[in-house]
Chains A and B, each alone.
Chain A
Amino acid sequence: MHAFRRPSAWLCALVPLVLSYGLAGCGGDSGEAAAPAPASTTASLSTEPESPPTASASPSTPVIEIHIVDGEVHTDADRVEVASGATIRLVVTSDVDDELHIHGADETAALVASVPTTLEFTISEPGTFDVETHDSGLLLVQLLVR
């Protein structure tokens, strides 16, 4: 009955419980990520109307194909899991001229109407990053970098 006289005692017990769960459950993934610099990215950009972009991708490179038609976004998934530091390849085809932007990673690329644009980059900091268009203001896909 008097065990709850001090609610703070309960809270003190609770915090380590929740914390220890999280650390024990998946402690491995926080150890190596020690990069102190802001989400560094490397990117290359190509606009190739002829060759099918998926053909040249190595199996480990996630390729995300996105089509924008009449202001609607067509993709296989709303969210794509990506390993921290892995190369990501986006292939975006819009039916109007626009600008592609990876929010939080400072990557941009011009989109020419009906021409597939390929953007390759890496994100080396964990988090959720929005891939979006600027002129039409569409969210295309979210990258979950782990």
Chain B
Amino acid sequence: MSRAALIAHGVGGRQDLPIPFELAVLGAALALVVSFLILGLAWKESRYRGDDSGLPLPEALTRAADSPWLRWTLRILGLVVAACVTLAAVAGPDLATNPTAGVVYVLLWVGLVPASLLLGPVWRLVNPVRTVHLLLCRALRLDPAAGVRRLPSWVGVWPAAGWLLAFTWLELVAPDRATTPVIRAWFAVFVGVSLVGAVAFGSRWFDRADPFEAYSTLVGRLSWLGRRRDGRLVARRPLENLDGLPARPGLTAAVAVLLGSTMYDSASASPWWARWTQESSIGATMAGTIGLLASAALVYATFAFAVWCAELVAGIRSHADAFAHSVVPIAVGYVIAHYLTLFVLEGQHTLVLLADPLGTGANWFGLGDLTENRWLANQPTLVASLQVAAIVIGHILGIVSAHDRAVRLFPARRALVAQLPLLAVMVGYTVIGLLLLFAA
């Protein structure tokens, strides 16, 4: 592939085939029926206890997970990999053989999802920017947790929502987004702002602003692995884990960006989107920016409106972000449906490219000897089925989460009716997701 091929696209060559119409209809019908079954038959009193719940894992496991040697091994691993990729981004040739785009968009961004589903919020343990801040503080004999000022609580995770939007703009809209100068420029600004934020507000800034940590934390709440309030590692049901996600200000915006950006990515790959942007005079970048912002805003507005309606019916004002956690499984279902084959195929390809980051014919870590397995590309029926299953399962988990929260917050006699607006928007997201898989 030439350099020009990089300019028009992000990473990845082929895309999945559209799913069969019957499969889309089956998925939508299942989602609808199961939603109403849950509403009618599920428990009437909240069952989830969030971070108080879970089956304690052996004490030794918690000790090992918290041990300094493991923490420092992970931090050093993060630093070493980041250094390799930075070297490729700065000194490697700006060709399709440069691994930078694949590492950032596939291994990091998409790879965070399976890693976090498996082990929880892992990115905060390897985040190289967090480690750089920690090392700087150690060198200057400062407390990394202490900043110049305290971050006001109303800020919540709004900075993370903003950075998530900024990253998805880079990934999906930015001109020449797969080339190294563009990726370098974005990360230069990001790392600079992150370090300034961490100095100003302490290492808590990473929890509240780093888009990769935020993503990993949200997805990690669907993991089987969690931590109890006393710090003990526990095994718990994913939805119980999700229930413990703090409803901080900005959470709705963060999940809206995740869901909306995936919707936009799907829609913008369609021929009708291409026709529209090619025939309009505003240019591809402006059209993409508007499309991405509109998708995220649409999810945010519809969900906020549904929560507002639910509270109106229930006669109770609750926290504005009290239901935002229930969008996480829907967003993760979308991400799996949309990026499964990209992750498997391009992920392998990126590993091979990493063997030779500088284009000198090197074979670092023996990665160049890997054989790429294209089996999944030849299983369109299996892929289509997995895509629909991911969307429908995400939808059902979202409905169950919202149901449990509703029967906890709302008075019993109104809790069921009050859920209808939430159910309606979730069915809407799912039908749109299936339509995009079918038509885009």
Q: Within 8 Å of chain B (Cβ to Cβ): is A76?
A: no
Contacts of B411 in A (CB 8 A): none
Query: A25-B23, A139-B271 known; A132 and B8 CB under 8 Å?
Result: yes
Determine if B271 and A7 form an interchain contact, defined as CB atoms under 8 angstroms apart. Answer: no
A129 to B388 alpha-carbon distance, docked (Å): 21
Determine if A146 and B380 form an interchain contact, defined as CB atoms under 8 angstroms apart. Answer: yes
A105 to B15 alpha-carbon distance, docked (Å): 11
Contacts of A78 in B (CB 8 A): 271-272, 275
Query: A73-B278, A129-B14, A139-B274 known; A7 and B385 CB under 8 Å?
Result: no
Determine if A139 and B278 form an interchain contact, defined as CB atoms under 8 angstroms apart. Answer: yes
Contacts of A72 in B (CB 8 A): 278-279
A31 to B16 alpha-carbon distance, docked (Å): 18
A32 to B384 alpha-carbon distance, docked (Å): 18
Among A12-20, A56-64, A86-94, the stretch in contact with B: A12-20
Contacts of B108 in A (CB 8 A): none
Determine if A18 and B388 form an interchain contact, defined as CB atoms under 8 angstroms apart. Answer: yes
Query: A71-B278, A128-B17 known; A19 and B389 CB under 8 Å?
Result: yes
Q: How many residues on chain A are close to B (CB under 8 Å)?
A: 56
Interface set, chain B 1-56, CB cutoff 8 A to A: 1-2, 4-5, 7-9, 12-18, 20, 22-23, 26-27, 30, 34, 37-38, 41-43
Contacts of B388 in A (CB 8 A): 18, 22
Determine if A125 and B377 form an interchain contact, defined as CB atoms under 8 angstroms apart. Answer: yes
A46-72: CB near B (< 8 Å → 1, else 0) gives 000000000000000000000000011
Most chain A C-beta atoms within 10 Å of own C-beta, residue among B15, B23, B26, B239: B15
Determine if B278 and A146 form an interchain contact, defined as CB atoms under 8 angstroms apart. Answer: no
Minimum CB–CB distance from A36 to chain B (whole Å) comes to 6
Minimum CB–CB distance from A109 to chain B (whole Å) comes to 12
Minimum CB–CB distance from B278 to chain A (whole Å) comes to 6
Determine if B378 and A134 form an interchain contact, defined as CB atoms under 8 angstroms apart. Answer: no
The residue in chain B whose Cβ has the minimal distance to the Cβ of A26 is B381
Contacts of A127 in B (CB 8 A): 14-17, 377, 380
A137 to B4 alpha-carbon distance, docked (Å): 10
Q: Within 8 Å of chain A (Cβ to Cβ): is B247?
A: no
Minimum CB–CB distance from A59 to chain B (whole Å) comes to 24
Contacts of B381 in A (CB 8 A): 22-23, 25-27, 29-30
Contacts of B382 in A (CB 8 A): 19, 22-23, 30
Determine if A21 and B23 form an interchain contact, defined as CB atoms under 8 angstroms apart. Answer: yes
Q: How many residues on chain B are close to A (CB under 8 Å)?
A: 56
Per DSSP, chain B at the interface is: helix
A52 to B397 alpha-carbon distance, docked (Å): 57
Most chain B C-beta atoms within 10 Å of own C-beta, residue among A4, A23, A30, A72: A4
Determine if A125 and B374 form an interchain contact, defined as CB atoms under 8 angstroms apart. Answer: yes
Minimum CB–CB distance from B433 to chain A (whole Å) comes to 14
The residue in chain A whose Cβ has the minimal distance to the Cβ of B175 is A137
Q: Within 8 Å of chain B (Cβ to Cβ): is A142?
A: yes
Q: Within 8 Å of chain A (Cβ to Cβ): is B379?
A: yes
**A7 touches which of B372, B374, B400 (Cβ 8 Å):** B400
Contacts of A103 in B (CB 8 A): 5, 8-9, 13
**A19 touches which of B1, B237, B373, B385 (Cβ 8 Å):** B385
Determine if A79 and B271 form an interchain contact, defined as CB atoms under 8 angstroms apart. Answer: yes
The residue in chain A whose Cβ has the minimal distance to the Cβ of B15 is A128
Minimum CB–CB distance from A134 to chain B (whole Å) comes to 4
A36 to B378 alpha-carbon distance, docked (Å): 9
Determine if B5 and A11 form an interchain contact, defined as CB atoms under 8 angstroms apart. Answer: no
Minimum CB–CB distance from B35 to chain A (whole Å) comes to 11
Determine if A126 and B17 form an interchain contact, defined as CB atoms under 8 angstroms apart. Answer: yes
Determine if A22 and B377 form an interchain contact, defined as CB atoms under 8 angstroms apart. Answer: no
* 6 residue pairs, one from A and one from B, having the closest CB atoms: A104-B13, A22-B385, A78-B271, A127-B14, A139-B274, A104-B14
27 A-B pairs within 8 Å (CB atoms) are namely A4-B41, A4-B42, A7-B400, A10-B34, A11-B397, A14-B392, A14-B396, A18-B26, A18-B389, A19-B385, A19-B386, A19-B389, A22-B385, A23-B382, A26-B381, A29-B381, A33-B379, A35-B378, A78-B271, A79-B271, A106-B13, A127-B377, A128-B269, A129-B13, A132-B8, A134-B2, A144-B18
CB within 8 Å of B: which residues of A? 1, 3-5, 7-8, 10-11, 14-15, 17-19, 21-23, 25-27, 29-30, 33-39, 71-73, 78-79, 99, 101, 103-106, 108, 125-130, 132, 134, 137-139, 141-142, 144-146
